[in-house]
């Protein structure tokens, strides 16, 4: 919508997208640090180590977001095209890096890795919600044109360049609202306590598959044989989101089977 902060700071235009990304990151770090100590009963020493792991993982997430998104666009363009980033690409790299760091440098027997991942993913949802507000202000990740009352006309940004003068769905705000709601559920709902990982994979995976149908920006094409015009499906994000849902089913099934085996073992003792 309005990509830069007004008035300027020290004569320089400050991208509002970057501001909201930073707000999201710091909100995430603050949230997970408090939850590690108060809900997960993790010591301050280990919490600080986990925060360091998260910070390193965020750097890897940025790199993987460029690489994975660029690969899809490069295949589509037929030449190297690494000019954009994608959240799901960053999520893959960030979580992968975090898992490696945990396995290599945190070998505490008392640590419940499931609760750690539940806390981290809940924090990721909070950061992502703020990030989508930044997308709205930057005019990226926009929706398709619409005549409904929900339509928004972007005076600046990619949405303006693509659909100048046309109202489009503010998919960024739709997603931000969904993510704030998902954060509240993952953080507060007692019925999902201990199943935050599956809740995130199911919830965001299904949401992302659906919201892609009204996205109007070019996110590349998963199948090179498919036309590369807007609204061509499946998109890379839909493919990765489907994998998220399948992974959620697998983790839930594995967790249920593990608990069943533990119950049988306890009863036979």
pLDDT per residue as tens digits for the range 226-236: 444 445 567 88
* Selection from 201, 173, 167 nearest residue 186 by Cα: 201
Asked if residue 176 has pLDDT above 70, the reply is: yes
Average pLDDT, the chain: 86
Contact assessment for residue 252 and residue 199, using Cβ atoms and an 8 Å cutoff:
no
Report, as an integer, the average pLDDT of 139-162: 90
Reported as a single tens digit per residue, the pLDDT across 30-76 is 999 999 999 999 999 999 999 999 999 999 998 888 887 667 655 55
Q: What radius of gyration do the chain's Cα atoms show? A: 20
145 Cβ partners below 8 Å, 6+ apart? 151, 163, 166, 167, 168, 216
- pLDDT value at 192 more than 80: yes
d(CA 110, CA 101): 17
**Position 16 pLDDT exceeds 80:** yes
Residue 173's nearest CA partner among 154, 199, 196, 194 is 154
CA dihedral 186, 188, 190, 195 (to 10 degrees): 20
pLDDT attached to residue 226: 43
């Amino acid at each position: 919508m309005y990509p830069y902060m007004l008035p300027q700071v020290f004569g320089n235009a400050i991208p509002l997208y970057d501001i909201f990304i930073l707000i999201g990151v710091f909100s995430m770090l603050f949230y997970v640090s408090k939850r590690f100590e108060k809900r997960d009963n993790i010591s301050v020493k280990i919490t600080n180590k986990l925060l360091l792991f998260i910070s390193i993982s965020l750097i890897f997430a940025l790199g993987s977001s460029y690489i994975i998104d660029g690969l899809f666009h490069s295949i589509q363009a037929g030449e190297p095209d690494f000019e954009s980033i994608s959240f799901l690409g960053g999520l893959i790299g960030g979580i992968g890096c975090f898992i490696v760091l945990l396995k290599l440098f945190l070998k505490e027997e008392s640590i419940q890795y499931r609760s750690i991942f539940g806390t981290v993913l809940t924090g990721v949802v909070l950061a992502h919600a703020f990030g989508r507000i930044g997308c709205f202000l930057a005019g990226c990740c926009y929706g398709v044109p619409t005549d409904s009352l929900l339509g928004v006309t972007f005076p600046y940004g990619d949405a303006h360049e693509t659909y100048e003068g046309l109202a489009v769905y503010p998919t960024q705000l739709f997603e931000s609202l969904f993510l704030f709601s998902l954060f509240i559920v993952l953080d507060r709902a007692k019925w999902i306590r201990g199943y935050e990982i599956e809740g995130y994979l199911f919830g965001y995976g299904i949401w992302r598959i659906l919201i892609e149908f009204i996205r109007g920006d070019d996110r590349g094409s998963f199948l090179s044989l498919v036309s590369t015009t807007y609204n061509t499906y499946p998109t890379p994000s839909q493919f990765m989101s489907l994998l998220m849902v399948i992974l959620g089913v697998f983790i839930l099934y594995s967790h249920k089977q593990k608990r069943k085996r533990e119950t049988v073992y306890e009863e036979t003792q």
